C-alpha cells in the first residue's frame, strides 16, 4: 500500500509539474509575441528595445514562479528521492523558456514579410532563408537566432532582404575609421567593434544566467516550504 501511495503521489507531482511547466512556456511565448508585435515594431525606439531584448525580462520572473511552484510540488515526492529527479522538470523547461521565444519572433517575421510583399509563407521562407544564409551561413529559426544576436530587427522588405544588410552605414564608417587608427585610439575602436559584435550574445547570456539562478533559488525556497509541510 505504501508503494502504491508513493506512486500516486509521484503521479500527482508530474501531472501538476507538467501543467505548471506548460503554462510557463505558454506565458513566455505570449509575452514575446506581444512585445514583438506591438513594441519592437515601433519606429526607432522599437529597435533600441529589441537590441536590449526586453521581452527576455519576463524569463527571470517566469522562472521564479516556476521554481517556487516546482519546489512546493516536491511535497508529493519521497523524501529520499535524488536531487536530479527533483530538478528534472526545471532543467527541461529552463532552456525551452529561453529559446522558444526566438522561434515565435522568427515566425512573426515570416508573416510580416509575407504580408508586406504579398507572398505566401512558403515564398517568404525561401526569401528569408536566402537572406539568412548570406548573413549567417544558417537558415530558418537558427539563422534568425544568430542574426538577431547582432542586428536585433531584421528587414521585412524585399529590396533590403535581397541586398547585404550586415551593418548600418554608420557602423561601417566607424569600423573603417578604426582600422586606420593606431595606439590607444586604435585599441579603443577595436574594443568598441568587439562589443558591438558580441553585446547581443552577452545580453542573452546575462538573461540565461539570471533566469537559471533565480529559478534555482526559488525552487529551493519552495522545497523548504514542502519540507516543513511534511514535518507538520
Mean pLDDT along residues 158-185:
57
Cβ contacts of residue 153 below 8 Å, gap of 6+?
Answer: 40, 46, 47, 50
CA distance 107 to 2: 49
In this prediction the pTM is 0.83
27-78 confidence digits (pLDDT tens):
999 999 999 999 998 887 888 788 889 999 999 999 999 999 999 999 999 8
Q: Does the structure show a pLDDT above 90 at 172?
A: no
The pLDDT value given to residue 183: 58
Q: Write out the DSSP string of 32-78.
A: HHHHHHHTTTSTTHHHHHHHTTGGGGHHHHHHHHHHHHHHHHGGGS-
The pLDDT value given to residue 119: 93
The mean-pLDDT minimum among 71-75, 167-171, 178-182, 204-208 falls in: 167-171
Q: Does the structure show a pLDDT above 90 at 224?
A: yes
How many other β-carbons are positioned within 10 Å of the β-carbon of residue 95? 12
Mean pLDDT along residues 203-207:
92
The pLDDT value given to residue 186: 52
CA distance 20 to 11: 14
Task: Please give the share of the chain, as a percent, with pLDDT higher than 70.
Answer: 81
Give the dihedral of Cα atoms 15, 16, 22, 24; nearest 10 deg: -160
Q: Write out the DSSP string of 205-220.
A: HHHHHHHHHHHHHHHH
112-145 confidence digits (pLDDT tens):
999 999 999 999 999 999 999 999 999 999 999 9
Show the cell assigned to 74.
516536491
| Residue 201 dihedral angles phi and psi, to the nearest 5° | -65, -35
Distance of CA 155 to the CA centre of its chain: 20
Residue of 189, 15, 29 whose CA lies nearest to 104: 29
Q: Is 80 exposed, middle or buried (0-12, 13-18, 19+ CB in 10 A)?
A: exposed
Cβ atoms of residues 109 and 33 within 8 Å: no
Amino acid at each position: 500500500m505504501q508503494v502504491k501511495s508513493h506512486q500516486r503521489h509521484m503521479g500527482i507531482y508530474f501531472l501538476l509539474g507538467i501543467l505548471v511547466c506548460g503554462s510557463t512556456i505558454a506565458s513566455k511565448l505570449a509575452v514575446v509575441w506581444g512585445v514583438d508585435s506591438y513594441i519592437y515594431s515601433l519606429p526607432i525606439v522599437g529597435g533600441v528595445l529589441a537590441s536590449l531584448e526586453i521581452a527576455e525580462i519576463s524569463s527571470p520572473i517566469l522562472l521564479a514562479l516556476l521554481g517556487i511552484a516546482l519546489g512546493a510540488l516536491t511535497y508529493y515526492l519521497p523524501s529520499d528521492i535524488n536531487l536530479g529527479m527533483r530538478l528534472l522538470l526545471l532543467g527541461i523547461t529552463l532552456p525551452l523558456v529561453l529559446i522558444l521565444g526566438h522561434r515565435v519572433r522568427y515566425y512573426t517575421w515570416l508573416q510580416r514579410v509575407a504580408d508586406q510583399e504579398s507572398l505566401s509563407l512558403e515564398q517568404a521562407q525561401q526569401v528569408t532563408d536566402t537572406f539568412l544564409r548570406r548573413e549567417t551561413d544558417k537558415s530558418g529559426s537558427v539563422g534568425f537566432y544568430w542574426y538577431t544576436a547582432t542586428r536585433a530587427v531584421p528587414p521585412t522588405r524585399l529590396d533590403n532582404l535581397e541586398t547585404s544588410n550586415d551593418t548600418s552605414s554608420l557602423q561601417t564608417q566607424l569600423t573603417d575609421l578604426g582600422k586606420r587608427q593606431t595606439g590607444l585610439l586604435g585599441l579603443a575602436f577595436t574594443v568598441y567593434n568587439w562589443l558591438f559584435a558580441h553585446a547581443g550574445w552577452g545580453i542573452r547570456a546575462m538573461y540565461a544566467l539570471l533566469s537559471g539562478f533565480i529559478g534555482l533559488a526559488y525552487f529551493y525556497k519552495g522545497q523548504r516550504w514542502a519540507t516543513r509541510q511534511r514535518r507538520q
